[in-house]
Chains A and B, each alone.
Chain A
Amino acid sequence: MTKLAPVLSAHWDEKDSFTLEGYKRHGGYKASEKALKMDPDAVIQLVKDSGLRGRGGAGFPTGMKWGFIPQGDNKDHYLVVNADESEPGTCKDTPLLMANPHVLIEGCIIACHAIRAKHAFIYIRGEITHVARRVNQAIADAYAAGILGNGIDVVLHVGAGAYICGEETALLDSLEGFRGQPRLRPPFPAIAGLYARPTVVNNVESIASVPAIVMNGAEWYQSMGTEKSKGTTLYSLSGHVANPGQFEAPLGITLREILELAGGMRPGHKLKFWTPGGSSTPLFTDEHLDVPLDYEGVAAAGSMLGTKALQIFDETTCVVRAVLRWTEFYKHESCGKCTPCREGTWWLVQILRDLEEGKGTEADLAKLLDLCDNIMGRSFCALGDGATSPITSSIKYFRDEYIAHLTNGACPFDPVASTLFVGAGA
């Protein structure tokens, strides 16, 4: 039985965890002090050795990403922190930044030192004003305490609220003041990123993991997790569970274990389907309760670890309806740059809406899958691919439920039954 391993979230339950004082009480900013005395390349090597992989979804080794930045090129380098957390279900960076913004700032200092950058930009999702305020205050406190401003500056940039700006090159365009749309690669951000300068773009959690690695060493970090997925991470449990929230555990924990820690499903119900890493990762069902939730384990089972956003749905949920809602999100958030995503999501929504209302025939399912095949791997960025995942995976596991809509001429589910407030008044 894997246990929780709170590192990032170790002190979240303290009232002043978000303050400079609260952070320093547990050794805050000691790691950056230590790192600044190290050779930058040694810091990069340390992060490489730790096995830390990007927590934004793709799982690219963080140290290797840092190592791509050309050195001695007499150009400004930039660190950009992707805090545009917008994936349906994903909710780890928001609580992290609310509870402990200083760990991110400290991580920025270390990363900047390693990649020889003088500026870090935190690009934060436009809708979460309260988080932006908290991070802003933390930055101001860090400047006042002389932690920032000594050769490393951190700038907070609040986005205008677009899912696409979580895509790193769209984020860079948005940060530069343009409308966020993904850029053509190459050049990759490591060569020509922000303002055409070598740039590292990392997720909040990736950067926030660095101070602990610097303090405790690569071996300590490596001692947690699985063979290729090292360390601890935040699993965000939401939906029909008794006790939703953030569960920080070593990579490789299973949903069965997390559910146990969370007190199980909501009383009287059983698991029907779930997402391992947000809505753009293919669905899992109760067959997958024992899949190790690390990069390899989830991939081997046909999905992606993504952002470890575990959205849990019980048997009251209509999968067609859930998929339609997600698809509506993708249609709304498609940036419009490429044809497959822009036109495809427009079309997908219309087909799904009909199916959910019980209109159409089984041939529409074939059409839907063929359409997904024409979008998947054909779009400019991964957003288009992601839009097809819930559809193809739900048809794979729940084809009968789709067909039941058609034979029934309407959705066979009571939508109220799946709501969380159903028990209260009913």
Chain B
Amino acid sequence: MSTEVSEMITVVIDGFEVSVPKGTLVIRAAEQLGIQIPRFCDHPLLDPVGACRQCLVDIEINGRAFPKPQASCTIPVEPGMIVKTQLTSPVAEKAQRGVMELLLVNHPLDCPVCDKGGECPLQNQAMSNGQGSSRFEGVKRTFEKPINISSQVLLDRERCVLCARCTRFSEQIASDPFITLNERGALQQVGIYENQPFESYFSGNTVQICPVGALTGAAYRFRARPFDLVSTPSACEHCASGCDMRTDVRRGKTLRRLAGEDASVNEEWNCDKGRWAFKYVTAIDRLKVPMIRNASGELVEASWPEALAVAAEGLKSAKAAVLVGGRATVEDAYGYSKFARVALGTNDIDFRSRLSSDEEREFIASRVVGSSTTYRDIDKADQVLLVGFEPEEESPIVFLRINKQFRKRALKVVSIGSKESIAVEKLKAEFVKVAPGQEAAAIASQKLTDKSVILVGERAAESAGALSAVAALADSTGAKLAWIPRRAGERGAIEAGAIGNLLPGGRPVTDAAARVDIATVWNTDSIPAEVGRSTSQIIDAVHAGQIGALVVGGVDPLDCDNSQAALSAMEKAFVVSLEIAPSAVTARANVVLPVAAVTEKSGSFLNWEGRARSFDAAVADSLNRSDLRILSMIADEMGISLNLGTVTAAAKEIASLGAWDGARATFNKVSAQAQPALNGDQALITSWRRLLDLGTLQEGEEHLAGTARRTVAVISPKRAQSMGVVDGDQLKISTAQGSVTLSALVENIHDDAVWAPRNSRGSQLLVNLGVAHGAVVTVVKA
């Protein structure tokens, strides 16, 4: 809750007094009394526009009445104000009925075939505040329908009531003014600029806030009637922003996901990935039954008891480690954490299936665990510093929150990186340009205060010394620090101890008291005292013969440091794979156990703030089991009890552990490395993963993929000039491992750097080049 005390103003609405903060609009004040004034253009998170005129009410101030009804969505309360809504003023009631009739003059009565029918503000308010039939007998306006304003948003112009919610959202919230109102009069319409589609990462919100069926999503259009859907509150599994969501299911199949409301997190918005990437759940190749590898090396279907027996036997007969991706729920991550320690007797567990470092692991243990920086700190910040973090690409709601403060009060944003991004431009951020790998010095020279917020992304781990510099900067300035990973499960995995140096609750593995805490609750004799191996160390250990078995859940080896080594390690070791769909891991696994996708199970994520985002199963009759349940079954088969039969049991046990009140793990700071020398056609690679790319959870979403940003290789004007390259020329970026050839784009990037998307079509750097940040690559004109 905000502690600022604002001046309260008392007004009378329909005879009832209500006190609201100064600046509150009449329409909002009425809501406080439960008086619903009909509206279309009004939206609490958008600037008032007063266009639809549906919310007309009679107002007098200190005895002086306005000569005509006023739009209650544009007028703030004033002392001495008396408002009469449609409930007490015949004039307001007639005005509203009149406007409603006018709105329906050109609106087709195609409700029976309209996606919005059944959940349509126009339909509902026409019933509540309109008249039964129209006196209009003339000719309605018609348009060609629908038109694609992007590959995923369709526009039926004849249904549009021109409330300008969508255009205002795009401009005011997303800062993507790619749609505007064109033409005039009744022919006014929403439109895009020629050849410039509505390719905003946030475009789906316009579909959700459209008060009629004018904007529809290509994936959902004509798929369902709202009254046939069963809605379940859920949490987004895509990134660490932690959006509240609603999942709509019909007959066991997810048909739609919408942004939920949570004022302290996502307000009412989400990104297009969260909204439209869920087909992976219903993909036809979803794993449904367990499989084991037979004597001839083929994966064959098996019964659960058979598969569990093989898994248990394999894990018992070799030294085993656990690789759990960053997408597990808190409860599942806790299951992996406990399974590693109790069933496998090892601290060799890591959730980081991505580029990572030991510096990062220590940073996590000393700075991230228990950290409580929140969205509200961004709201109050005097400055936001972004390090190794592209909010729009890697945590879109964080971008919206920063953007809100930028638009409201010109919040200062500083971004340290090698390539200027679209978000940096939109936020008019100060861009501190450094060579890839040389972030530490730039971080150290930042001037912050104790009201500043440092947002550091997971990519900071790719630059030696960066996280050490961030920690030092936070210490010396008192600035708030938040680490924002890309995946939804990473913060939860940390708190669950799914990493080699931490036990649940942020307890350092090296702390004897912490180990006793956990061993007591887990009812086990002891917990290994030495810090476990990291992802890359585990892979190395497999190759060195020190580890013979792996439990792998939700990991794409192609995301790892050395993807080739990861793949061959999985061929070498005995692998138990817990997966939702066939992958590079299941292709190499000895036992494949199908698990539930997020919509099929209950659980929770911790977003980057550490805020719990719990959800229930949206699909009730799924036979799929959560990772936790399956790990318990394997443990049972191994003769060890995890006592984690259900998600509720795990949640209870986590709660009973509580947070660690002892000393945090120490952070052995690391210094930066010198920049490698470059010859003429060499550059340092830098990259990030775009919001919309080849991520596994976006598979099958063609409409969504259609709005992904173009795959390009970015070089600086200086380099372009020396190479004789202009925009659109082909550039070949290569290492000893391989190459990518991409269309060139000359932009604001460090002269020593070349940028390419990390995992987009035609540019999967970890696979193609084996490097993604700070390494030397060769750049030539192709």
Contacts and interface: CB of A to CB of B under 8 A. Distances in A.
Residue in A184, A336, A339, A347 with the greatest tally of chain B CB atoms within 10 Å: A339
Interface string A326-352: 000001111111111011111100110
Contact of A336 (B49, B101, B187): B187
A367 interface: yes
Interface string A104-140: 0000000000000000000000000000000000000
Nearest to A367: B135
Given A336-B162, A340-B99, A377 B68 contact: yes
B22 to A, nearest CB: 15
Nearest to B40: A339
A374 interface: yes
Contacts of A171: none
A378 B68 contact: yes
Interface string A235-260: 00000000000000000000000000
A179 B53 contact: no
B50 A340 contact: no
Interface string A71-85: 000000000000000
B658 interface: no
B729 to A, nearest CB: 34
Contact of B184 (A184, A335, A378): A335
B58 to A, nearest CB: 11
A243 B182 CA distance: 43
B98 A340 contact: yes
A184 B99 contact: no
A340 B53 contact: yes
Contacts of A345: 185-186
A374 B48 CA distance: 22
Given A334-B185, A336-B188, A378-B53, A342 B162 contact: yes
B56 A346 contact: no
Given A334-B186, A342-B186, A343-B105, A377 B162 contact: no
Contact of B103 (A332, A339, A351, A373): A339
Interface in A346-381: 346-347, 350-351, 367, 370-371, 373-375, 377-380
Given A378-B68, A378-B98, A336 B48 contact: no
A164 interface: yes
B74 interface: yes
B67 interface: yes
Given A331-B185, A334-B185, A378 B105 contact: no
B465 interface: no
Interface in B60-75: 67-69, 74
A336 B50 contact: no
Interface stretch (B136-144, B389-397, B705-713): B136-144
Contacts of A337: 51, 162, 188
Contact of A184 (B50, B105, B136): B50
Given A184-B49, A377-B69, A379-B53, A336 B181 contact: yes
A184 B52 CA distance: 13
Given A343-B106, A378-B98, A378-B99, A336 B139 contact: no
A164 B103 CA distance: 21
Interface string A297-324: 0000000000000000000000000000
Contacts of B180: 179
A380 B50 contact: yes
A342 B98 contact: no
A371 B98 CA distance: 8
Nearest to A354: B138
B102 A377 contact: no
B95 A378 contact: yes
Contacts of B141: 346
A339 B161 contact: yes
A179 B181 contact: yes
A58 B574 CA distance: 87
A343 B136 CA distance: 11
Interface residues of A, number: 32
B86 to A, nearest CB: 13
Contacts of B187: 336
A84 to B, nearest CB: 15
Contacts of A411: none
A342 B69 CA distance: 18
Contacts of A374: 94-95, 98-99, 101-102
Contact of B48 (A162, A184, A339, A377): A184
A313 B439 CA distance: 80
A333 B162 CA distance: 16
A332 B99 contact: no
Contacts of B48: 184
A346 B185 contact: yes
Given A337-B51, A374-B99, A350 B139 contact: yes
Nearest to A336: B188
Given A336-B185, A338-B51, A346-B105, A378 B56 contact: yes
Nearest to B102: A343
Contacts of B161: 339
Interface string B578-602: 0000000000000000000000000
B52 A338 contact: yes
Contacts of B68: 377-378
Nearest to A178: B180
Interface in A391-410: none
B184 A339 contact: no
B185 A339 contact: no
A346 B777 CA distance: 64
A273 B204 CA distance: 55
Residue in A331, A335, A336, A373 with the greatest tally of chain B CB atoms within 10 Å: A336
Contacts of B138: 347, 350-351
Interface string B85-104: 00000000011001101110
Given A377-B67, A378-B56, A339 B183 contact: no
Contacts of A335: 184-185, 188
Contacts of A162: 184
A350 B161 CA distance: 20
Nearest to A363: B135
A334 B184 contact: yes
Interface in B145-164: 161-162
Interface string B183-227: 111111000000000000000000000000000000000000000
B98 A373 contact: yes
A336 B103 CA distance: 12
A49 B756 CA distance: 70
Interface in B560-615: none
Nearest to A384: B53
A58 B579 CA distance: 73
A376 to B, nearest CB: 8
B54 interface: yes
A346 B135 CA distance: 14
A335 B106 CA distance: 16
A336 B184 contact: yes
Contacts of B94: 373-374
A164 B184 contact: yes
A118 B353 CA distance: 63
Residue in B49, B53, B67 with the greatest tally of chain A CB atoms within 10 Å: B53
B635 to A, nearest CB: 64
A337 B51 CA distance: 6
A13 B607 CA distance: 79
13 contacts: A333-B185, A335-B184, A339-B52, A342-B185, A343-B106, A350-B138, A350-B139, A370-B98, A374-B94, A375-B102, A377-B68, A378-B68, A380-B51
Interface of B: 48-54, 56, 67-69, 74, 94-95, 98-99, 101-103, 105-106, 135-136, 138-139, 141, 161-162, 180-188
Given A345-B186, A346-B106, 17 more contacts: A162-B184, A179-B181, A184-B48, A331-B186, A336-B162, A336-B185, A336-B187, A338-B52, A339-B51, A340-B98, A340-B102, A347-B105, A370-B98, A371-B98, A375-B98, A378-B68, A380-B51
**Shortest 5 CB-CB distances between A and B: which pairs?**
A374-B98, A336-B188, A377-B68, A350-B138, A343-B102
